[in-house]
Structure 1
C-alpha cells in the first residue's frame, strides 16, 4: 500500500504538471465537441485538485416516496443541493412496447436537457436488451450467447447496429439552448467481470469483449458521427491486481475514464470490507494516472444504509485516499421500499449524509464550476 501511495503521488504531480503545461487535453474522440472537450478537461482539473463530484442514479427523476416532481431529489432534501452528476440508462430505447418506449424516451430526453441546463453532468449506462432475441439483459432470465454474433459477420450485427442507431437518434435530441450536443459520459457493458449480464464473464471471451468495445466506439464515432461522448470502462470489484483489472481493457485509444462499480465490499448484511474497497480503488486510480485518464467510483452504495455513519466513517475516507473525478451512488427506488442508497430526511443516516455532502472536498451541483466552459491555460 505504501509503494502504491508513493507511485500515485508521483503520478499525480506529473498529471498536474501536464494539465498546467498543456493547452487542451483531448479525449479519445479527436472530433469531440467543444463542450465535451471542456467537460473532460474540467474533470481532470477537479481530479487533480483532490475534489470529488457526487452523483446519483435517476436522482432528479424520482426518490423513495415520490416521482416526477420538479426540482426535487432526495439528496437535495437532505443536503440542500442536487447531486452534480445524474446517472441515467438507455434501457428504454429497445423496449418492445412502442407507446411506453416513446413516452419514457421523451422523459429521458427532458431529464438530460434539464440537468444540462442546471450546469450538471450526465452519465449513461445501458442495461441493453440481448440483440439475439430482444430478451432481458439479465443472464438468468435470458441465457443467450450474444457478443460474438454482434461483431461484423455475426447474425446479430445488423440488430446491434440498429441499437446504436437508436442511441444516435436519441442523442441528436439532446441539445442545449444554442443547439449544441449535450456531452454525456457513456459507460457501456458495465460490470462485465460478473456473470449476471449477458455480456459478462463466462458468456464472452476477453478477446471478444475487447472487439465489441472497440467496434462500438468506432461505429458511434466513425459511422454514426457521434462526438459528444466520453467513454467509461467500469468492471465490478472482482479484481485484485492491475493485471486482473486490465484483462478486458480495450486500450488507451478507446477509454477516457477508468472506473469501478462496488457494492460487494459494502453489503448490508454486515460482511463489509472497506479496506479491500480502498485497495481496489487505489488500483483504478493508479492505472488512470499512469495513462493520464480520469478515475471514478462509477457505482457504489450501501443498500438501506444500515450503518448510520457510513458516509463519513466508511465512504469518505476511501474517496479521500485516491484522486477521483466523481463518485456515483445508486438509485432510490420509489416502488421498492428496501432499494435505496441515499437517506431521506427522517432516516437515521440523514445527519451523517449531510455532513458528508458539506465536506470541502465533495462537490454537489451548487458548488460545481462551469463544467462546460473551456479551461484557461
Structure 2
C-alpha cells in the first residue's frame, strides 16, 4: 500500500452533494422516561424530552456504506454542557451538547460509519438531559489538512525542529505507537525500554513503542524534596533522555501539584484533593496577575522549577512533547475549576515564562482540552503545535474514534496536528485509515500500579497493529542524528510573541470593595428554591455558620422568607452521598428587613428523624433554601462564615457565587454580584496604591495596622500555597491603630494581606 501523499484527505465535514435525510425524534423508539412534547420551534411542532431515557431511530437508510455526518437538532435548557452517546450498534461516540438559548434548538454534528441499507442510530443518555427535535443524515466529505511549516516556538532548538518535522511529515500517513509509564519503583536508570510498562507493550506485540510518556507529577508539591518523590522525577527524566537517545519520542504530562499542595485533584473528583484556587493570583475581577500574591508566587515558582528540568534536557540536545494543563475544561483538576479566560491566562503565563523568560525552546506544545466543546478554552494558535484528546473506550473496543477526530478538525482547524494523547485500548489501524481518523500518535495509559490499560488490547491486536507499516514502532525510527528530512508542510503560520500583560511588570492588589450576592426569585411555590455552591472548605472544629441576609422582595403569603441551610456529603470515596440539613429551625427575614442568621452545623436528621453528626471534613456542596409561597424579588446574601474562621463564601468574586439547583431554575431569574448600593459589580478593578501613612506590622502573634483614614478593610491570612486560611477582620475600620490576633493560628509560615482604605500591603509571618 502506498503512503506518500503530503496533503491529508480527511478531517472537515463539508456540505454534501447528496441531499440530507431527516428523521423526527418523535417517530423514533423511546425508552425509560423519554417522552414526546410540543414546541412551535420544533420541526412539525413536536420534539422528545429525553428525561434520562434513550431515543432509537430504527430505519436510517443509506444507499452505500461509508461515513455519514449525523446532525442532531437539539435543545439544552438544563444548565451546563451535557454528554450523551450517539452511535450505530455497539460503536458509539460521546457527543457534547452545550447549553442553548431558552426555547431554541441548534445543531451539533458527529460522524458515523453506516452500512448500505437500513441502520439503527441511537442517542443514549449518559450525563444530563437534552431535548431532541430530529437527526439529519448526509454523506460525509473530507478536506485536506494544511499544516504549519514550523513549530510555534520561534527559537526552537534543532532537536525540536527535527521532532516537529517528523510529526508533520508522518501525519495522515503513519501513526506513532506509544505508551505511558507509571510506577518507577522497579525501573533502573539507563534504558527506557526496560520500564515495566514499555515491556508490557513489547511482550504483547513483539515491538517497542516509538513514543514513551512520563509524568512530572512529583516534581512539584509538598513532597517534592522527599526521597521517593525525587527518585520518581529523576527516573521520569531518564525515561526522556534514554528514549531520545534510542531515537524515540519523549512525551511529558504534568499532573501539577501547586506550591505546597499534595494533590492536583479538586474536591469531588478524588478522596484526597487540593483547595488551591489560582484565581487568587489575579487582581480581583480581572485576568491580570497580582504578582505580589502568594498564589502567583507558588505558580511561577513551580514553572521555574520545571523549566530547569527542560533546560537540562535542552543542554543534552533532547526535545520532547509537552502536554501541560491537560484535559482542560474538565472539572477534576485545579487548573480547570475557574473560567475559560482564567485558564487561558494560566496557560499563556506558563508558556511565556518558560519560553521567553527561562529560555525553554526544546518542546513541542500539546493543547489538550477535555473534548472539542472546550476548544473555546484555547490559549491561541501561537501557543501550541498539537491538538489532542483523551479517550478511554471499554476494553477490546478498537474503534477509530473518528467522530472525535473529525470534531476536532471541524472546530480546531486544519493547521494543527491531532493526536490521541491518552487511551485505553488502541484504535485499530484499519479502522483509523478507513474512517479518516489517522491520529498522529496514540498512547495507552500505563499497565503498572494495577491500572491494566495495556491489557485492554488483546495480544493479537497488538501484534497486528505493531506489524502494520502504517504504525511506527521504535525499531522503525530513523535515529535523531540521522534525521534531516525537511518539513513537507508549506503553510507559514505565526509564531508566539511575548504578551506584555502576562508575567511582566508588577501588579498591585485592588482596593477592597465589599461585594455581595444578589439572587432574584420569581413566583416561589411551596417547594421554595435552592441555590448551591460546590466548593466547601474543611469545616472541622466549626459548630455554626453565619450568613447576612437582606430581603428586598415582597409578595409572600406571610410577608417574609424562610432560609435554611444544608450540606451534601462527598460520597466519592465510599459511595455514601447524603443530604445533611442543619437541625436549626432556619431563619425568618421579613420583607424589607435584614438579619444575620446562624445555623447549627454539628448534626442533621435523617428521614427517620434520627440525628447524626455532620461530616464537616468531607463536604461536597452547601445549599441555601428560600421558601415563601408567592414571593418575588431580590435577596442579598453576604459573608457565609463558620465560627472557626473558615470563609465558605465572601461573595466577592464570581467564583464564590452560588448557582441555581436544577429543580429550581424556573424560580430564579438571575444570580449576580452587586456592590453595597445594589448595583451590579463592575468587572474592571480599581487599583489602589498603598498610602504612605499606612503601616502594617507583625509582632509575635499580633498584627498591627495603622491607617490615616477610615474605610472598608479586609485583613486576611494566606498559607504559603496561596490558599486563604483565615479572615482576621472584614468591615469598616476606624482611622488610627488597630490590632488583630493570630493566637488561634497553628504553627507555620503565612502571609498577612491587608486591602482597603488606601492600603495594599502584605507581610510574611512565622508562628512558632
TM-score normalized with structure 2 length = 0.40
Rounded Cα–Cα distance in structure 2 between residues aligned with 1:89 and 1:319: 30
| Structure 1: segments with no counterpart, 5+ residues | 19-24, 303-309
Q: For 2:468 and 2:327, locate their aligned partners in 1 and report how far apart those are by CA, in whole Å.
A: 29
Q: Name the structure 2 match of 1:27.
A: 151
Change (3 A) 1:57 1:124: same
CA distance in 2, matches of 1:145, 1:8: 46
Contact 2:261 2:276 in 1 (8 A): no
Distance apart, 1:32 and its partner CA: 0.7
1:134 equivalent in alignment to 2:243: no
Mapping of residues 8-87 of structure 1, within 5 Å: 9-12=142-145, 14-15=146-147, 25-48=149-172, 50-58=173-181, 67-68=187-188, 71-72=193-194, 73-87=199-213
Over residues 69-95 of structure 1, what are the superposed CA-to-partner deviations in whole Å (9 max), with x where a residue is unaligned?
954311112222211001111111115
1:305 equivalent in structure 2:
none
Task: Give a deviation string over 1:38-78, Cα, whole Å, max 9, x none.
Answer: 11111000004x2100111018968xxx6549543111122
Would the alpha carbon gap of residues 206 and 348 (structure 1) be closer, same or farther in structure 2, given more than 3 Å must change? closer
Q: What pairs with 1:43-192 in structure 2 (closer than 5 Å)?
A: 43-48=167-172, 50-58=173-181, 67-68=187-188, 71-72=193-194, 73-95=199-221, 96=223, 97-131=225-259, 133-140=260-267, 141-150=272-281, 152-153=289-290, 154-174=293-313, 179-192=315-328
Q: Tell me the CA shift for residue 144 of structure 1.
A: 1.7
SS at match of 2:446: coil
* Paired position in structure 1 for 2:421: 298
Q: What is the DSSP-based 3-state SS (H/G/I as helix, E as strand, rest coil) of the residue aligned with 1:130?
A: coil
| Contact residue 59 and residue 74 of structure 1 kept, 8 A | no
Aligned positions of 1:208-219 closer than 5 A: 208-219=342-353
2:466 equivalent to 1:352: no
- Are the equivalent residues in 1 in contact too, given 2:165–2:486 (CA < 8 A)? no
- The answer to whether residue 442 in structure 2 is matched with residue 327 in structure 1 is yes
Change (3 A) 1:26 1:376: closer
CA contact (8 A) 2:218 2:233 kept: yes
Whose Rg is larger? 2
**Secondary structure of 1:156's aligned partner:** helix
In 1, the alpha carbon distance for the partners of 2:470 and 2:457 equals 23
RCO higher in 1 or 2 (8 Å CA, sep ≥ 6)?
A: 1
Change (3 A) 1:115 1:59: farther
The 2-side partners of 1:332 and 1:8 are apart by: 38
CA shift, 1:328, in A, is: 1.1
Q: Spell out structure 1 runs of 4+ moving beyond 6 A.
A: 4-8
Q: Sort the Cα spacing of 1:326 and 1:217 in 2 relative to 1 into closer, same or farther, 3 A.
A: same
In structure 2, relative to structure 1, the CA distance for the partners of 1:358 and 1:219 (3 Å cut) is: same
The 1-side partners of 2:480 and 2:424 are apart by: 25
Distance in 1 (alpha carbons) for counterparts of 2:13 and 2:258? 44
- Alpha-carbon RMSD across the aligned residues, in angstroms, is 3.0
Question: What is the Cα deviation at residue 158 of structure 1?
Answer: 1.1
Instruction: Note the C-alpha offset of 1:189.
Output: 0.9
- Aligned mate of 1:376, from 480, 483, 486: 486
Name the structure where helix makes up a greater proportion of residues.
1
Q: SS of 2:219's equivalent?
A: helix
Deviation at 1:286, TM superposition (A): 4.5
Distance in 1 separating the partners of 2:278 and 2:391: 24
Kindly indicate whether the alpha-carbon contact (under 8 Å) linking 2:432 and 2:438 is maintained by their aligned counterparts in 1: no
* Structure in which a larger fraction of residues adopt strand: 2
Q: Is the 8 A contact 2:220 2:258 kept in 1?
A: no
Gap change, CA 1:33 and 1:279, over 3 Å in 2: same
Alignment of 1:224-243 (within 5 A): 224-237=358-371, 239=372
- Cα distance in 2 between the residues matched to 1:45 and 1:150: 41
Q: CA deviation at 1:210?
A: 0.8
Partner SS for 2:338: coil
Q: CA deviation at 1:298?
A: 0.7
Provide the rounded CA distance (Å) in 1 between the counterparts of 2:298 and 2:214.
23
- Aligned counterparts of 1:55 and 1:223: Cα–Cα separation in 2: 32
Secondary structure of 1:324 counterpart: coil
**What secondary structure sits across from 1:112 in the alignment?**
helix
Q: 1:316 to 1:328 in 2, by over 3 A?
A: farther
| CA distance in structure 2 between the partners assigned to 1:34 and 1:212 by the alignment | 28
Residues 1:348 and 1:76: Cα distance change in structure 2 (over 3 Å): closer
- Give the drift of 1:100: 2.5
CA contact (8 A) 2:277 2:334 kept: yes
With structure 1 as the length reference, what TM-score do the two structures score?
0.79
Q: Provide closer, same or farther for how the CA distance between residues 31 and 195 of structure 1 changes in structure 2, counting only shifts above 3 A.
A: same
Where 1:261 maps in the other structure, the secondary structure is strand
Unaligned stretches of 5+ residues in structure 2? 1-11, 15-68, 70-110, 112-138, 283-288, 488-768
